[in-house]
């Protein structure tokens, strides 16, 4: 036998093919090519940013030789430089989790294979090897892994052992590159932290389509913070992940029950560091069974809203948002999402099949009419909308108001956003245009903020028209309540009533077009189910605005995945030209 093929005789044909293709790939691979293949969402500039901090390291594959010693000897006899095998921690633990085999029963080792010097690229092949001779208990694992190739990946070395750099790289790869977190770990033997990412469809140029759907970032040292943040969004077990998703309704109800009980108001937390009271006393305060409360708190621990103490629990920063006195408290939203909107989502299939809102199917009438007839729900809804006021905070500072005198908030609810404009710019006057029953609740809010004397409350229906004479008009989370036909009609009503060159500011969540994660996707389904509306892309809004007589001139990002769309009413001469 040719000594250059001695190593090949020690491997199953599928493993041999993996190794041969990996050796061929690393001979000419570079960082930009790896990123172009595995993270197709990255722009050329973004790939350059990643490459500035990373260098191509290796391709990695999992193989199952009958004897690792003979395999190493075969590589060496063929002229390859082979490092000494070291124990694998990360891949061993991944296999243990995937197949339910105790980790200490899996003697997975890492071997680095360097090609004989040929003047090609610096990359090498990293073999994860688990011996599986004929009749081995690992034969079944080997067969499945050879088919699924779960551990095949390409690795980049991160030059700067810095958690900030790791966080930035992770953000680019997931939010823009289209990758998803796929686990990771720390190998104390190599003193190396690894973060895995998965690309379900992409493959680098020239590689086998079944290879390299995973990317590894390697950084020297132990980085527990970066690792914890990464693995918090990853799971190695798709069944477990799907179960977590399917039980999301349980989480909604657990949070809603905690909000209904006022649980967060009775627990200490980061902003209130007193000692927690024992479970029995807490249960007595809330009027619930101690055992039931304990089980609820255990579940909320898994949801990261509370954390256990010696004989009770404390709120996390996440849990503190359920307090009544929390700034931007989300308690009203928890009650709303666990109440009427939870019921309407039970008829989501009807909305998907018909395109009609499910809320009316459950409650007999549309959301806004139903809430108007139920004052307690209407008040809860207003409070819930105010809970998202964090989205509003930057808005007044993103607009040049120096030449504006009157701001009209169309459908502005309790005046949350308008009040911020009046506080930000003392020379402004405001007009809050809403339904009469909403204005009664808004009157006190504006008085409490000290703006009652600078704001006119005007009752009306924006689907029929809007007050004239404003310089700036606000439509905050209004348009997503309506389908395209009604949305265009509202915009045309606005265009008919606002002065030429008046500015229109729209606050909405925009659907991404590059596959990145956004709250807008969830709210889009929520709109379909509960009001018959929809979230839209920026381009979609631009078309609607143009058809109504407005030009979309700018977009600014806002918290909570929101966006501020700046539009301007076209003058009659401009309209004539278009």
Catalytic residues, by residue number, are 480
Pairing of strands 562-569, 550-558: antiparallel
Which H helix or E strand runs over 227?
helix 224-231
What is the distance between the alpha carbons of residues 28 and 544, in angstroms, rounded to a whole number?
Answer: 49
Q: What is the dihedral of CA 416, 421, 424, 425, to 10 degrees?
A: -150
Structure tokens at 101: 């085999």
Contact 172, 42 (CB under 8 A): yes
What is the distance between the alpha carbons of residues 222 and 220, in angstroms, rounded to a whole number?
Answer: 7
- CB contact set of 221 (below 8 Å; sequence gap of 6+): 161, 191, 192, 193
DSSP character at residue 83 = P
Structure tokens at 337: 């999402």
Which H helix or E strand runs over 110?
strand 109-114
What is the distance between the alpha carbons of residues 472 and 247, in angstroms, rounded to a whole number?
Answer: 45
Sheet holding 550-558, edge to edge: 455-459, 429-434, 406-410, 472-476, 503-509, 562-569, 550-558
Contacts from 320-329 at CB under 8 Å and sequence distance 24+? 320/264, 320/269, 320/270, 320/271, 322/255, 322/258, 322/259, 322/263, 322/264, 323/264, 323/265, 323/269, 324/262, 324/264, 324/265, 325/265, 326/264, 328/387, 328/388, 328/389, 328/390, 329/387
Contact 282, 275 (CB under 8 A): no
Distances (CA, A) of 169 to 16, 30, 191, 236, 447: 33, 17, 20, 21, 47
Structure tokens at 12: 């199953």
What is the distance between the alpha carbons of residues 453 and 119, in angstroms, rounded to a whole number?
Answer: 79
What is the distance between the alpha carbons of residues 466 and 406, in angstroms, rounded to a whole number?
Answer: 13
- CB contact set of 128 (below 8 Å; sequence gap of 6+): 60, 61, 62, 63, 88, 91, 108, 109, 110, 151
**What b/e sequence results for 397-435 when a residue is b if at least 16 CB atoms lie within 10 Å of its CB, and e otherwise?**
eebebeebebbbbbbbbbbbbbbbbbeebeebbbbbbbb
Structure tokens at 568: 């301007």
Sign of the C-alpha dihedral, residues 470, 538, 561, 172?
negative
Of 495, 518, 509, 511, residue with least CA distance to 574: 495
Round to the nearest angstrom and report the end-to-end CA distance of the chain. 79
Contact 37, 47 (CB under 8 A): no
């Amino acid at each position: 036998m040719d000594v250059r093929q001695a190593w090949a005789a020690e491997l199953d044909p599928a493993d041999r093919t993996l190794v041969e293709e990996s050796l061929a790939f690393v001979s000419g691979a570079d960082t930009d090519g790896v990123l172009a293949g595995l993270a197709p969402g990255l722009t050329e500039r973004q790939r350059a940013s990643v490459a500035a901090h990373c260098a191509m390291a290796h391709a990695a594959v999992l193989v199952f030789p009958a004897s690792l010693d003979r395999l190493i000897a075969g590589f060496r006899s063929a002229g390859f430089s082979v490092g000494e095998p070291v124990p694998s921690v990360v891949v061993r633990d991944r296999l243990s989790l995937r197949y339910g085999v105790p980790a200490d029963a899996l003697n997975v080792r890492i071997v680095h294979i360097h090609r004989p010097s040929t003047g090609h690229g610096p990359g090498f092949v990293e073999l994860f090897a688990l011996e599986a001779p004929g009749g081995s208990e690992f034969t079944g694992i080997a067969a499945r892994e050879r088919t699924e190739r779960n551990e095949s990946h390409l690795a980049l070395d991160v030059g700067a052992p810095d958690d900030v750099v790791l966080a930035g790289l992770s953000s680019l790869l997931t939010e823009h590159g289209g990758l998803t977190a796929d686990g990771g770990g720390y190998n104390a033997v190599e003193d190396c932290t690894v973060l895995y990412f998965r690309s379900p469809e992409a493959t680098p140029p020239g590689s086998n389509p079944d290879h390299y759907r995973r990317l590894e970032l390697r950084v020297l040292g132990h980085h527990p913070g970066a690792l914890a943040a990464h693995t918090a969004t990853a799971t190695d077990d798709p069944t477990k992940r799907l179960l977590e998703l399917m039980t999301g309704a349980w989480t909604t109800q657990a949070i809603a029950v905690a909000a209904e009980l006022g649980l967060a108001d009775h627990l200490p937390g980061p902003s209130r560091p007193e000692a927690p009271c024992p479970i029995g006393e807490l249960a007595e305060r809330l009027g619930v069974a101690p055992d039931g409360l304990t089980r609820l708190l255990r579940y909320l621990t898994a949801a990261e809203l509370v954390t256990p103490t010696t004989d009770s629990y404390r709120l996390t920063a996440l849990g503190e948002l359920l307090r009544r006195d929390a700034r931007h408290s989300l308690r009203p939203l928890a009650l709303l999402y666990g109440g009427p909107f939870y019921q309407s989502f039970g008829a989501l299939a009807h909305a998907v099949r018909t395109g009609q809102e499910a809320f009316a199917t459950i409650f007999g009438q549309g959301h806004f009419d139903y809430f108007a007839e139920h004052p307690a729900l209407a008040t809860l809804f207003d409070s819930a909308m105010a809970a998202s006021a964090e989205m509003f905070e930057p808005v007044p500072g993103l607009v040049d108001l120096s030449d504006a005198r009157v701001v009209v908030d169309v459908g502005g609810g309790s005046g949350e956003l308008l009040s911020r404009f009046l506080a930000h710019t003392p020379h402004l006057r405001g007009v809050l245009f809403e339904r009469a029953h909403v204005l009664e609740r808004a009157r006190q809010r504006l008085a409490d903020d000290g703006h009652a004397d600078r704001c006119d409350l005007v009752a009306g229906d924006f689907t029929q028209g809007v007050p004239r004479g404003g310089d700036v008009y606000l439509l905050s989370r209004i348009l997503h309540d309506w389908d395209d036909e009604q949305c265009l009609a509202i915009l045309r009503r606005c265009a008919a009533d606002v002065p030429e060159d008046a500015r229109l500011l729209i606050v909405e969540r925009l659907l991404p077009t590059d596959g990145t994660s956004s709250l807008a996707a969830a709210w889009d389904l929520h709109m379909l189910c509960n009001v018959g509306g929809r979230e839209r892309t920026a381009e979609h809004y631009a078309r609607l605005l143009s058809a109504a007589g407005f030009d979309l001139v700018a977009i600014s990002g806002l918290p909570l995945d929101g966006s501020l769309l700046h539009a301007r009413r076209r003058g009659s001469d401009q309209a004539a030209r278009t």
